[in-house]
Structure 1
Amino acid sequence: MPVDAAVLAAVAGLFAVVSGVNDGGALLATGLKLPTVRPATGVLVLVVMVAAVPLLSHQVALTFVNRVAHFDQPGGRAATSAAVLAALGVVAVLSAKGRPTSLTLAVVGGLTGAGLGWGLPVSAGTVAQVLAFGVAAPVVGGLLAWALFRVLLLVTTAEGLGWWHRAGFLLQTVAYAANDAQKMLALFMIAVGFQGAPPAYTSLVAALFALGTLYGLPKAGRTLSREIIAFRPAHGVAAELASGVAVIGCAAAGMPVSMTQAVAGGLIGAGVAQGGGGRVRWYAAIKIVSAWMLTLPASGLLGWLLALAVKGLMTW
């Protein structure tokens, strides 16, 4: 295996573990106040979906590989490594400052900046589309959760809420695997040079993701499940259902979006549906949104600088 491919494969493996730390707990957090889906069961279902769903559809992974920029050209692997390291750096700094953010936004920014820094063709239209869908997902998730929360109050009881939770959690895991999780597979696509979804690689991604999820589960979902709203089980179920629908819709269009953003939007929508926004802790919501707004340009700038530096070293 060429050196640049080996380096990118190692970086991709690290990224999959960090994705588990960052995303796994957040996905499980909305339902932890209901005993219907135990954490161990939730992790198992999530990991199985991450391995299995790309075998049926991996359009979002192909968007990262082929549509944002052409990383199959000379230098594409080195540029991708720079992009991922930039994304991880920005997310690490923001998380250390108590501002959890989206790895998907960070990767899109890092790939865009690194592609430009290396001189690869970058599709401004695709980047603009991704940004538009990224903004739409939490908004749609919030609107759907507002309606679903009201419906749940009318049609279900406390006992029946568990069944809705099972359905919402399953939908959410499928949505994550069909969309947000495929950024991990995309990196191995670029490193190894395949365009499909070989079971060996989807299983590898799922195993690395599981390691990160188990490590980060005790802490990862705290902001979503406790800080955004004065949380009740029905809020979590409405957010699960709404975010799942919104993210699957984006996956059908091949557009990568952040599941955690959609879940956050859903929690805010559910909180507004009960009490007109009095349950929403807006300072936490504003802190998260400000981190989102900073993530992409910061990752893009750092990816551009790293790509320039690596390219300069390789040609020196």
Structure 2
Amino acid sequence: MDITLMVALVIALALFFDFTNGFHDTANAMATPIATGAIKPKTAVTLAAILNLVGAFLSTEVAKTVSGGIIREGSDGVQITPDIIFAGLMGAILWNMITWLKGLPSSSSHALFGGLIGAAVAGIGFNSVNLETLLQKVILPAIFAPLIAGIVAYACTRLAYGLTARHDPETGSKLTQKRGGFRTGQIFTSSLVALAHGTNDAQKTMGIITLVLIAAGTQAPGTGPQFWVIAACALAIAVGTYAGGWRIIRTMGSGLTEVKPAQGFAAETSTASAILASSHLGFALSTTQVASGSVIGSGMGRKGTTVRWNMVGKIALGWLFTLPAAGIVGALTALLVKTGVVGVVIAAVAGTAAVLFMFFYSRKSQVGHHNAVEVEEAGQAVRFAKKKAIARARARANKPEDTQR
């Protein structure tokens, strides 16, 4: 196949992956404020889309890690080709679609790395992968980041509830707790998570497109993403974020634990801190793992709530299989495209058919802004009922007595 045509195909596929990354990871920023009623669902995804777009322009360190770190560019004789990158993207996209269909908040980042590594190993050999960079900037952050975020969220939740506890000074009994300020605060913390997500996840697609341009010989090795690449990737992830990803929002908002405003505030603060720090250091962090760890930690930090460990187990299993599953698909696709143009066409048609099948299958049990998080709807109903009861009580108190009988 003509190299220019192949490069164009890979760029289009990379931008589609960026789109799936957007709707797959919307829940990282907006699931908890939707669950607590801090932001309306449609407003939440619109805000997340805008901030993802802005965040994508703020940093390129992660893009450099992807384009010149994990897969060798060719300085030592190893040369990755656009065909191999095409195969890696296919593995990442299919895994993203499968986990989205199941409502599992798995890592789009690890799906991408797994697909690329599997394709590179099958198409070139083990020496095409920089194992040191993979360990330092992908594997170790994947292990420690969600743990650290969970511990920080646990501590922040305990602190938030401790500082805002109210007791009667005479009897020592608990008074009605007024923590509505945390619901307002969630607007800002969730916005920060969305901004941070743009600084990390959008960079990965920038790195992939930069890598394919280097592989095609149209860009010098060791250079960062060009402006048009940054702009295209920023737009793609923003549009994907606006699409919603409601299935995963349901899992993150109410599937792991019942989320209250103080918990959501603590979880979002710890998530944003971890993502921004990793973006600055060039760590290709899984924002999904960090956000999930924070939600679990905040659930453990509030007395009287329970963490749904069966769902946690399913998510952890998804994390465990992400790299190898995407890697296997990437490797099989790489072997197929090595046969020539016919192999590329077969892979493209089969991948497109699989994506369309999963999309239409999802329509049988549609999840949208109207039913994504039942907790949010229930919370609104309770607040409405309270307001109505207070209004009736005030009306009765102000009603003059009938003395004419």
* TM-score, normalised relative to structure 1: 0.89
Contact 1:176 1:247 in 2 (8 A): yes
User: What do you get for the CA RMSD once the two structures are aligned?
Assistant: 2.5
Aligned to 1:148: 156
How far residue 41 of structure 1 moved from its aligned partner, in angstroms, is 4.6
- The answer on whether the counterparts of 1:68 and 1:111 sit within 8 Å (CA) in structure 2 is no
Distance change (3 Å), C-alpha of 1:214 and 1:199: same
Q: What is the number of equivalent residue pairs in this alignment?
A: 315
Equivalences for residues 105-184 of structure 1 within 5 A:
105-119=110-124, 121-129=128-136, 130-156=138-164, 157-184=178-205
Match of 1:91 in 2: 96
Q: Which residue of 2 aligns with 1:298?
A: 325
Cα 1:99–1:164, aligned 2, differ >3 Å: closer, same or farther? closer
Structure 2 SS opposite 1:33: helix
The residue type equivalent to 1:86 in the other structure is G
Q: Bigger CA drift: 71-80 or 283-292? A: 71-80
Q: Secondary structure at the match of 1:257?
A: coil
Q: CA deviation at 1:97?
A: 4.4
Unpaired runs of 5+ residues, structure 1, are none
2:338 match: secondary structure? helix
1:109 Cα shift?
0.9
Deviation per residue, 1:181-214 (Å, 9 max, x gap): 3212222323445544544433322332233223
Kept in 1, the 8 Å contact 2:202–2:234? The answer is: no
Shift in Å, 1:8: 0.6
CA drift of 1:117 comes to 1.7
Q: What does 1:60-75 align with in structure 2 at a 5 Å threshold?
A: 60-71=62-73, 74-75=79-80
The one of 16, 19, 27 equivalent to 2:18 is: 16
Q: Kindly indicate whether the alpha-carbon contact (under 8 Å) linking 1:43 and 1:210 is maintained by their aligned counterparts in 2.
A: no
Structure 1 stretch displaced more, 232-241 or 179-188: 179-188
Distance in 2 (CA, whole Å) between partners of 1:268 and 1:45 is 24
Which of the two has higher C-alpha Rg? 2
Query: How far, CA to CA, are the matches of 1:197 and 1:63 in structure 2?
Result: 11
Paired amino acid for 1:253:
L
| CA distance in 1 between partners of 2:324 and 2:285 (Å) | 16
- Structure 2 unaligned regions, length at least 5: 165-177, 344-405
The amino acid of 2:182's aligned partner reads L
Pair 1:294–1:225, CA change in 2 (3 A) = same
Q: Residues 92 and 43 from structure 1, CA distance in 2 versus in 1: closer, same or farther, beyond 3 angstroms?
A: closer
Residues 24-67 of structure 1, C-alpha deviations (whole Å, 9 max, x = no match): 24421111134544445543443343333343321111111110
Alignment partner of 1:212 out of 228, 232, 240: 240
The letter of the residue matching 2:112 is: V
TM-score by length of 2: 0.71
Instruction: Choose 223-232 or 187-196, whichever is displaced more.
Output: 187-196
- Compare 142-151 and 243-252 and name the one that shifted more: 243-252
Query: Per-residue CA shift, 1:92-136, capped at 9, x if unaligned?
Result: 234444544211111111111112122162111111221110111
Is contact 2:101–2:247 with CA below 8 Å preserved after alignment?
no
